[in-house]
Structure 1
Amino acid sequence: MKFRVERDALADAVTWAARSLASRPTLPVLAGLLLKVTSVDGGEQLSVSGFDLEASTEVDLEVSAGSPGQALVSGRLLADITRSLPPHPVDVTLDGSRLSISCGSARFTLPGMPVDDYPQLPAMPTTAGTVEGPAFAAAVAQVAVAAGRDDTLPMLTGVRLEIDGDTLTLAATDRYRLAVRELHWSPGDPSASPVAVLVPARTLADAAKSLAHSEALTIALSGAGAGAGEGIIGFSGTTGGRASRATTRLLDATFPAYRSLLPSEWASNAEVAVGPLVEAVRRVALVTDRNAPVRMEFADGTVSLTAGGDDEGRAEEQLEVAYDGEPITTAFNPQFLLDGLGALATGTARMLFTSSTKPVVLRPVEGGSGSGDAEVSDYTYLIMPVRLPG
C-alpha cells in the first residue's frame, strides 16, 4: 500500500476518524485507525476508519500515486503526527509491517497492528431521509445540553429522535431540565410509520457537529419505518470533497414520557434580553458554591436577582423585563439556567410560569424585546426550580 495526499486533507480525515477511538479500548486493535487504499473509477481512494464496537467513523478522500492495500496503526499517534506535519504533500508507504510517512524533510515510521484482528465496521443502515447539516447540528446542540451524564441511568444519557413524516423531534432530559426541538427534514418515505429511537447524546452531538458543513446530511436507521432492526443509526455527508460516515448503536432503554411534563397553561410570563440576563446570573452566582441557587423575583417591569446569604458573600442585581402576571419568586441552578439561555440562539427569551414551584419554560423570541415579537415554538427548554426555604 502507498499513496500521496495533501497534508491538510489527510490531517482532517485522520482527526475526524479518530473521534470514535475509545480512551481505554477493550482490545489493543481498537486503538488503531484502519487505512485502506482501493481503486475507484480509475483513481485511488483512501478510507480511514475507526471503531470502538459501539460507534464507528469512516472517511473517504481521493489520493494519488497509490497502490491498493491496508494498514492498521495507532490512531492517536497518527492524528498527532498528521496535525504536526509541514505544509507539503504527504507520501505514505507500507513496508512490511511498518508504515512510513514522509512530508518535506520530516520522516516517521510507525509499527503496524494485526489487520486480521480488527473487527469489521457495521454496514450503513437503510436511508431514512436527509436534513440540512447546519440546521441539524444546531438542533442537536440545543437539545444535547440537557442530556444526563450518569451512565447508571442510560435512558437519560441519550437523545430521543422521533421521525414522523417531514418532522424530526429531538428531546433530552436529566430529570432537572428538558430540551425539545422540532425541525423539518426530507424523509425517504413520507408515508412510513412514525419511528422513535434513543441515540447516545455524546456520540450524536459529535457526529452532528463534525458533519455540520454538509449541505445534505443523510440519516440512516436499521429497520427505519418498521421499528425493528439491529439498533444502529448512521449519519453521512460530504464536506469539501470528503465523504464521511458515522454509526452508533442505539440505547436499549425507555425514555421518559416527556410530553406530559410540558405545561399547557401559564399564569404569568416574562420577556427578557438574553445577553444582560446571562451576564447578571454569572455575576451574582460568583458569591455562592457552584450549584447554589440564584433567586429571581419577577414583578411589573423588573426582575431582581440575588445569591448568597448571611454566612457568605451576597450579590444583588436588577434588570428591566416585560412581565405580565402576579409577582412571583423562584430560584434556579445557575448553570442549568445559563445552559438554557445559551441554547436559545436569539437575543430575547420568553419565560413562562405556572407557579413558583412548578417547572418554568424558556422559549426563544424572534427580534428584540417587545410585545409584538413572535415566539419561536420549535424549541422548548424546561427547567425545574430549586425549592426555597420557608
Structure 2
Amino acid sequence: MYGIGEMARASGLGVSALRFYDRAGVLVPAEVDPATGYRRYRAAQIRAARLVAGLRRVGMPVPDIARAVAELHRPPVVRKLLEEHLRRLEGGLADARRELSRIHRLLDLEEITMTRITLPAAALAAALDAVRFAASADPAVPMINGVLFEAGPDAVTLVATDRYRMAVAEAAATVAGPPVRVVAPLPFADALRPLLTGTVGLELSPSAITAEAPGHRLAAEALDVDFPDHRRLAEPARPRARRITVDVPALRARLGGAAPVTREHEGIAYDVAILTVDPSGAVRLAAEDAWAADEQAHVAVNREFLLQALDAGGAGQLVLELDGPIKPLAVRGAGGYSLLMPVRH
C-alpha cells in the first residue's frame, strides 16, 4: 500500500490534486483511516493516477477523466475519449487563431473607430421583426445574406433585401460615435432576437458588431460585402405615386379570398396579387384580365411577399404607395417601409 505522499511522487499528481480527485470520485483511495483520514492506495492504482495526471495536463474535463479511469481496462474506449478531446482542442485552437488574427488587425489600425448605440430592447426587436422577412439566404449572392445595421446621429436603421424586396426600419437610439454601416450575418440577427429585453447596447465597428442585453453578450464579425444603398433605391421621392391607407386585416382577408393568379420564375410557381386603385381612391384586387385603365394605379406583386410585408408592417393601418406597373410597391408603416418588386404582367 502507498501513502498519499508516496502516491504523489509515483504518479506526478500533487497531494492536493489526489485529495481533489478523491472528493470528485475519480481516484478513490483503497483505504482511508477512519480516525486520522489518512489515505492509502494500492500499487495497481498508480497507473490510473498517472493517467489522471496526463489528462489533467491536457485540460480534459473532470467528467471525461472519470470515465477514462473507469474504462482503463478497455483501452479502445479510452483512446476514443482521447481522440474526441483532441478534436475539441484543435477546434479551440482554430477559434483562438481567428480571434488573435482579428486582434492583430485591430492593432494594425492607427485608430479603432467604435460607435456605441443604446436603445430599448422593444424598439430593436420591432425593427428586426420589420426587416427579417426580406433577408436573403441565397449563397449565390453573399453580399446581401445579412442585416444592415446603420448608425445615424440619433437612430439605428436596419435593412434587409433579397433582390425581390427590401425592408427598412428605423429605431430612435442614443448614438455615440461616427456614422457606420455594418452588415451582420443572419445567424447573429436570429440569435439576437430572443435575447432582447430591457435596454440593449450595440457596438459597431467596420469589422464587427457586438450586442449586450441583460445577462447576455453576442458578437460577430461583420460581413465584408458591398450592401445595396437603400436610400438610392428608395429615392428620389415619387411625386406621382398614389398613396392609399389600408386596413391590414381587411386587405389580408381579401387577399385570402381572391382568385389565384400564378406566375413562374426559374421553375418555381407562385401566386400574384394584382392591386388597383378604383375611382374612389380605394385599393382593390383585380383579376388577371381586369387591369385598371389608369396606368399609374395598378401593380402586380408576389402575393406571399405582400402578406409578409403586411405582417411586418404591424397591426392596424398601413399606407400602400403605387407608382405604376413597373415601379416597386411600397408598404409604409410608422417605423419603416418595404419595397416589393413588380411582377411582369
TM-score range relative to shorter protein:
0.5 to 0.7
Q: Is 1:332 equivalent to 2:320 in the alignment? A: no
Deviation at 1:348, TM superposition (A): 0.6
Deviation at 1:285, TM superposition (A): 6.0
> What is the aligned residue count?
248
Q: Is 1:386 equivalent to 2:343 in the alignment? A: yes
Q: Aligned to 1:292, what secondary structure does the other structure show?
A: strand
How far apart, CA to CA, are the structure 2 residues paired with 1:150 and 1:132?
Answer: 31
Instruction: Indicate if the aligned counterparts of 1:207 and 1:235 stay in contact, CA closer than 8 A.
Output: no
Q: Aligned to 2:309, what secondary structure does the other structure show?
A: helix
Partner of 1:281: 255
Q: 1:258 to 1:363 in 2, by over 3 A?
A: same
Partner of 2:270: 291
Q: Aligned to 1:135, what secondary structure does the other structure show?
A: helix
How far apart, CA to CA, are the structure 1 residues paired with 2:192 and 2:257?
Answer: 32
Q: 1:236 to 1:308 in 2, by over 3 A?
A: same
Q: 1:155 to 1:327 in 2, by over 3 A?
A: closer
Q: Is 1:305 equivalent to 2:285 in the alignment? A: yes
Rg larger in structure: 2
Instruction: Indicate if the aligned counterparts of 2:299 and 2:326 stay in contact, CA closer than 8 A.
Output: yes
Instruction: Indicate if the aligned counterparts of 2:275 and 2:284 stay in contact, CA closer than 8 A.
Output: yes
Q: 1:298 to 1:330 in 2, by over 3 A?
A: same
Query: Which residue identity lines up with residue 338 of structure 2 in the other structure?
Result: Y
Specify every segment of 5 or more residues in structure 2 that has no aligned partner in the other structure, as ranges.
1-58, 69-80, 104-113, 264-268
How far apart, CA to CA, are the structure 1 residues paired with 2:310 and 2:343?
Answer: 17
TM-score by length of 1: 0.56
Partner of 1:184: 172
How far apart, CA to CA, are the structure 2 residues paired with 1:287 and 1:329?
Answer: 15
Specify every segment of 5 or more residues in structure 1 that has no aligned partner in the other structure, as ranges.
1-69, 73-92, 100-110, 310-315, 317-324, 365-375
- 1:99-178 to structure 2, matched below 5 A, reads 113-114=85-86, 115-119=88-92, 120=95, 122=99, 128-178=116-166
Which deviates further from its counterpart, 264-273 or 296-305?
Answer: 296-305
Query: Which residue identity lines up with residue 303 of structure 1 in the other structure?
Result: V
Q: Is 1:355 equivalent to 2:339 in the alignment? A: no
Q: Is 1:199 equivalent to 2:184 in the alignment? A: yes
Partner of 1:42: none
How far apart, CA to CA, are the structure 2 residues paired with 1:71 and 1:288?
Answer: 59
How far apart, CA to CA, are the structure 1 residues paired with 2:126 and 2:66?
Answer: 43
Instruction: Indicate if the aligned counterparts of 2:166 and 2:338 stay in contact, CA closer than 8 A.
Output: yes
Instruction: Indicate if the aligned counterparts of 1:266 and 1:353 stay in contact, CA closer than 8 A.
Output: no
Deviation string, structure 1 residues 315-358 (Cα, Å, up to 9, x no partner) = x9xxxxxxxx9872221100111111010113111111222321
Instruction: Indicate if the aligned counterparts of 1:285 and 1:334 stay in contact, CA closer than 8 A.
Output: no
Instruction: Indicate if the aligned counterparts of 2:244 and 2:283 stay in contact, CA closer than 8 A.
Output: no
Instruction: Indicate if the aligned counterparts of 2:120 and 2:199 stay in contact, CA closer than 8 A.
Output: yes
Considering fraction of residues, name the structure with more strand: 1
How far apart, CA to CA, are the structure 2 residues paired with 1:186 and 1:98?
Answer: 52
How far apart, CA to CA, are the structure 2 residues paired with 1:271 and 1:136?
Answer: 25
Instruction: Indicate if the aligned counterparts of 1:161 and 1:170 stay in contact, CA closer than 8 A.
Output: yes
Instruction: Indicate if the aligned counterparts of 1:211 and 1:217 stay in contact, CA closer than 8 A.
Output: no
